[in-house]
Amino acid sequence: MARKQQKTIITCAATGAIHTPTMSDALPYTYDDIATQAVEAAEAGASILHLHARDPKTGAPSVNPDDFAPFLKRIKQSTDAVVNISTGGSLTLSIQDRIKPAATFSAEMCSMNMGSMNFSFHPLAKRYDKWKFDWERDYVANSDGNIFRNTFRDIEEAAKTLAPHEIKFEHECYDVGHLYNLKFCMDIGLFKAPIFIQFVMGILGGIGADIDNLVFMKTTADKLFGDQYRWSILAAGLAQIPMATTASQMGGHVRVGLEDSLFISRGKLAENNAQQVAKIRRIVEDLGCEVATPDEARDILDLKGGDRVAF
């Protein structure tokens, strides 16, 4: 008898993060637009919504819980999708600031970056002449001088602070060394299996987005974690859909969204997040996989449930 294939979880990173300028009008930054696009992404097939917040006046990335509350409430009222709150936030903020939204709202999931790194997107500064907000060009251009800090002490503080909330972490691993950092953290009791790993590929400063590197990351994770982990892929820019397609055929889950790529195809900006979700859903289903519902995602990832959040 053939083994039943696990259903594929689609995560949508629906809002711009530290590396996503707002040069595309499709990228949401107001409370209303974030809520609307998140709900539409869920309706298109995303069972998990990975969310950042922005100041609705300036468009700047925000970790102020007051900037999360308005759209979290609307999303909760409109969909049963799992909400995953970012703890990335900004290259210049402390871990205490970055985890505040996840702790405030006791989300089902939050991201957890597994190592410090050069995280740069400064080449974008030379690619665009027009910027929506005054702060953006300098912020982007100066990213070559920043370090995205995620020390072992930071990771431990985040893990222990959020542990009482029973939040499932999406462990974002930008390179193979981050997998070994995660194994160390598990060995000292910070995280318990089953863990959920997001292979982040194609960010300048991290591992490149190609199939050989994906196989290497997957093989290393198999060696370190055996059957005690679930995994997904996030590939930046033009690699988004091709790498997600490959991952889905390797038994992995997938992430798309305007945080990771502003485009729907080469040279064509996406109209919204739902368009990217619909595209990868169509591909996954056409290739013989089934897409997970929110409740199926909760079961696969062993989540606490949407009735135990604080929003």
Angle CA 123–127–129, to nearest 5:
130
| Inter-residue contact 310 to 85 (CB < 8 Å) | no
Per-residue pLDDT, 196? 98
Instruction: Tell me phi and psi for residue 167, to 5 degrees.
Output: -85, 135
Per-residue pLDDT, 85? 98
Mean pLDDT estimate for the chain: 94
pLDDT at 19 over 90: no
Q: Using the 8-state DSSP alphabet, how is residue 126 labeled?
A: H
Per-residue pLDDT, 5? 62
Percent of the chain at pLDDT > 70 equals 96
The pLDDT tens digits of the residues spanning 136-172 come to 889 889 999 989 999 999 999 999 999 999 999 999 9
Comparison of pLDDT for 136 and 246, the residue scoring more: 246
Class of domain 10-308: alpha beta
Q: How confident is the model at residue 1 (pLDDT cuts 50, 70, 90)?
A: very low
Residues in the chain: 311
What's the mean pLDDT in 112-125? Answer: 93
Cis peptide before 294 (omega within 30 of 0): no
Per-residue pLDDT, 23? 66
Per-residue pLDDT, 125? 87
What's the mean pLDDT in 201-210? Answer: 97
Q: How confident is the model at residue 2 (pLDDT cuts 50, 70, 90)?
A: very low
Q: Alpha carbon of 179 to those of 145, 204, 221, 259, 265: distances in Å?
A: 25, 18, 7, 23, 31
Q: Alpha carbon of 149 to those of 87, 118, 174, 285: distances in Å?
A: 12, 9, 13, 38
126's tokens: 């030379």
| Inter-residue contact 60 to 15 (CB < 8 Å) | no
pLDDT at 129 over 90: no
